[in-house]
Amino acid sequence: MIDRRGRWLIGALIAVAVLFGAILVALVGVSARYLTVGLPTAGRMNEMLSDGELRFTVLGSRCGIDQVGTVELGQKPRGEFCLVRLSVLNIGAAHCLFEATRQHVFDRAGNAIPADGAASVYADAGSVALLRPLLPGRRVSGTLAFDVPKPAALTAIVLRASRVTPGVRVPLGPAAAADG
């Protein structure tokens, strides 16, 4: 039989276990809320769409590009380059950075293909406008380059202000699957 001191010790251990369990459940709930970013907002070409502190406008896309930059200073793709022209506006109160590597195009199979940062600089004729901090109210335009398998069959681009925002999804359609 357990004496009074033993019962008190067992009761205290159970109370501590329940307390730690409650704390763990609360922490998991908070973490899940911050890890779940939701689905991207659907949009259209030439439509302004906001995600976080940035407002995006996809201006056009073109695939079938076999080199960006110049012969002396450029880059060739493993497959082919698809270029997406866009405009980015900082609608926040502080400066922020547009991160090319957070941007993805999707093919018909649903594969996400990240932007190629170096190729994007070459595709933009050496401009680093998309790489500079974006002041509040400032808009920049640029081109993102994606190295995709041949033949390109892109369905959409998802643009994100940060890794914790859901992003915006813009269909690219047949215009992205053909050189033009």
Residue 113 has a pLDDT of 97
What pLDDT does residue 12 have? 60
pLDDT for res 38: 84
Q: What percent of the chain has pLDDT over 90?
A: 63
List pLDDT tens digits, range 93-122: 999 999 988 999 999 999 999 999 999 999
Query: Could you give the 3-state DSSP secondary structure of residue 25?
Result: helix
Q: How far apart are CA 52 and CA 98, in angstroms?
A: 11
pLDDT of residue 34: 43
pTM score = 0.75
Closest CA to 144 of 91, 112, 104: 104
Position 173 scores a pLDDT of: 72
Average pLDDT score, the chain: 85
> Tell me, what's the pLDDT at 147?
97
pLDDT, one tens digit per residue, over 64-89 is: 999 999 988 899 999 999 999 999 99
Whether 13 shows a pLDDT value over 60: the answer reads no
Query: Burial level of 37, CB count in 10 A (0-12/13-18/19+)?
Result: middle
What does the alpha-carbon distance between residue 28 and residue 22 come to, in Å, rounded to a whole number? Answer: 10
